[in-house]
Amino acid sequence: MTAVENLEVAPIPLRELTTLRTGAAPARMLEATTRSELIDALRDVWRSGDDWFVLGGGSNLFVGDEQFAGAVIRILTSGIEEIPSPHEGRVRLRVQAGHNWDELVAYAVARGYAGIEAMSGIPGTVGAAPVQNVGAYGQEIQETLVEVELIDEGADEPVVVPAADLGLGFRTSVLKHHYGEAEARRAVILSVTLDLAVTGEAGRVIRGDQLRRALTLEDFDPVPLEWIRSRILATRAAKGMLLDEHDPDTHSAGSFFQNAIVPEHIARALPPECPRWPVEPDLDTMTVIPLDSYHGLTPRAEQPEAMVKVSSAWLIENAGVRKGFKLPRSRASTSTKHSLALTNRGGATAAELGELARFIQSRVHAEFGLLLQPEPVLVGVDL
């Protein structure tokens, strides 16, 4: 038996491995529990020329009802390695891709390493976290991500890629793609390196408004990381954003639609009650002027129109789709706790969830002229 044959398993239906609970068993499945097994599995699948994707915790995937005809590689690696940071008072953690994200947060918080505590309770794996630049309560992985080790499809060896080259943006990166659609860097993350502040038991001062509101903080005294973590976990549970086998409101992919990011003049046309937040402008204002068109004058820097993030939950509810809404005879509904989450109430097909998603998109579009974009990665589904 070859090394790769040992990694082959009887394909498990994807509805059992994804939190939205849809999808049949793929044609082929491999399970990798070590870094070298993962590389071997990828090389084998790439050689075969079959379609493929990697699966972490399945919490950001919306899989169609038709069988995926290619190979699914489950990433089951784990391990955290502490390495020195070149910056004083900081530490680096190199974490294998299949490591559970929330276990990593718990590990960091228990040691007084700050920078990811507000992202407590996000489901899934560490390797998937940079794929959509995970974030919660104003904290995103891009603030602490140093680099990832990844292997590009077809490449012989892994490479280390700095975070700055990953095109990280609001719930996106160059690695996020909907299979069969937009081009993206076809690569698999093997490990992730984070740089965290060592704060110890004192904790840290919270400045960000979003996190301060979530924690109902009034002063600017340092707060312990453990306290932040437990408050965030409780808040997430109340919103159905913490995975719970017994709570169907969590049988979702988290927020199904992204908060819409629109130019300021579009946001101004929305009702004033719609919550909105300014989007930090891109600070990369460098302009390259080709020498043959340079006549001694530097053109005035163009001021791009400010962008605004608007609450898609508000848009959905004010387009008449309330929490717990479902179409007649459908087993899919919006969460009873959060209108941004589409949930599987038991046995819903991808077709039923897709129908609900399209209904919401069309209601919001008719009412406010905005087309909401799905946040999960779509496999074999069109929206």
Ligand X SMILES: Cc1cc2nc3c(=O)[nH]c(=O)nc-3n(C[C@H](O)[C@H](O)[C@H](O)COP(=O)(O)OP(=O)(O)OC[C@H]3O[C@@H](n4cnc5c(N)ncnc54)[C@H](O)[C@@H]3O)c2cc1C
Applying CB under 6 A, the residues found at the interface with ligand X are 19, 53-61, 75, 97, 122-125, 127-129, 131-132, 134-136, 175, 188-189, 241, 243, 250, 252-254, 377
CA 221 – CA 181 distance, rounded (Å): 48
Least distance (Å) from ligand X to the CB of residue 157?
A: 16
Closer CB to ligand X, residue 76 or residue 270? 76
Closer CB to ligand X, residue 75 or residue 91? 75
CA 40 – CA 186 distance, rounded (Å): 16
Which one of the listed residues 171, 229, 231, 363 is annotated catalytic? 171
Is residue 339 a contact partner of residue 323, using CB atoms and an 8 Å limit? yes
Least distance (Å) from ligand X to the CB of residue 271?
A: 26
Which one of the listed residues 173, 191, 255, 333 is annotated catalytic? 255
Least distance (Å) from ligand X to the CB of residue 243?
A: 5
* Catalytic residue status for 37: no
Interior CA angle at 194 toward 56 and 137, to 5°? 75
Query: Which residue type, as a one-letter code, is found at position 139?
Result: Q
Given phi > 0 = left and psi -120 to 50 = alpha, else beta, which region is 240?
A: left
Closer CB to ligand X, residue 38 or residue 270? 38
The dihedrals phi and psi of 14, each to the nearest 5 degrees, come to -65, -20
Closer CB to ligand X, residue 241 or residue 270? 241
The dihedrals phi and psi of 372, each to the nearest 5 degrees, come to -70, 140
Candidates 257, 320, 256, 196; CA nearest to 22 is 256
Give 23's DSSP letter. -
Closer CB to ligand X, residue 161 or residue 270? 161
The dihedrals phi and psi of 19, each to the nearest 5 degrees, come to -75, -20
Least distance (Å) from ligand X to the CB of residue 365?
A: 24
Query: Which residue type, as a one-letter code, is found at position 362?
Result: S
Least distance (Å) from ligand X to the CB of residue 367?
A: 26
Q: Tell me the catalytic residues.
A: 171, 255, 375
